[in-house]
Amino acid sequence: MQIEDIERDAIARVVEQALAEDIGTGDVTSVGTVPETAQCTARIIIKEHGVVAGIPALLAVFEAVDPSLELVAVAQDGDRTDSLPYEIVRIAGAARSVLTAERVALNLLGRLSGIASATRTYVDAIAGTGATILDTRKTTPGLRALEKYAVRCGGGSNHRFGLDDGILVKDNHLLVAGGVTAAVRGLRLISDLPIEVEVETLAELREALEACVDRVLLDNMSPALMAEAVALCRGRASTEASGGITLATIREVAATGVDFISIGALTHSVKSLDVSLEVVL
């Protein structure tokens, strides 16, 4: 999986902050129990089925703690953990360093692999429909770049990264602006970014289409109403479904013909994968 510059920058920042938070003034336990000269080998494994994500962040943690550690990645992001335990990285070097870096590295690997795994489940659920799974901005503060990278590892696509690189006019914007037409008119005065507008009714949809928006977000619509909305949009604007969509309902939503389906649960309520570091003396 290709990692972007924004994600490399995020890794460096997140690792620095996470290690400072975890280590503080020093790893008292390791210093008090592990001889300074002790060496070890270790491996990091995933112990449940899913999709791997976060290896670059994991390696960065160990490198930041001790650049002399020998690190060998034996898996890659995007892999499915078909056979368990699934080995990710092999490590050799100072035992204190390995133990000090362990928790932060595992936290990142487990969290990001959980997101990738959840994404893959949704992607597989709509296979063959032509719809694309999108993430949202419902991310962990400070981890957005890494969590959106994990979504891509799972086969999903990224929606806008922040408020400055995409336009999504929500219900509160419409309320304050005075409706779809006024909102779109104001946006076109200041930006040439594509405009997406959230709609809940066919009346709002028709107003959005008259304003020549680029995409409409069909919010909390029933499948029947959504199918009607998709038909109205055909050739005029792309469509995105959102709001309360689950694995149990997503196939029916995709069957309406929508282009995109955004799922906040990919990042806001995902379960981390079970990961572990095993030391071999």
| Spans of all domains in the chain | 5-123+270-280, 126-268
**pLDDT tens digit sequence for 97-122:** 999 999 999 999 999 999 999 999 99
Instruction: Work out the pLDDT band at 2, boundaries 50, 70, 90.
Output: confident
Of 13, 47, 80, 170, which one is the catalytic site residue?
Answer: 170
Q: What does the pLDDT read at residue 6? A: 86
Q: Which fold has domain 126-268?
A: TIM Barrel (3.20.20)
Q: What is the pLDDT of residue 91?
A: 98
**Overall pTM > 0.85:** yes
Is 63 among the catalytic positions?
no
Cβ neighbour number for residue 268 with a 10 Å cutoff: 14
Out of 79, 102, 198, 240, pick the active-site residue: 198
Which CATH fold topology does 5-123+270-280 show? Aldehyde Oxidoreductase; domain 3 (3.90.1170)
Q: Which of 138, 206, 236, 251 is catalytic?
A: 138
- Identified catalytic residue from 147, 207, 219, 240: 219
What Cα–Cα distance (Å) separates residue 281 from each residue in 41, 88, 97, 139?
6, 19, 14, 39
Other C-beta atoms closer than 10 Å to the C-beta of 141 total 5
219 flagged as catalytic: yes
CA 229 to chain centre: 28
Tokens standing for residue 272: 């981390």
**pLDDT value at residue 5:** 87
Paired tokens of 134:
């999108």
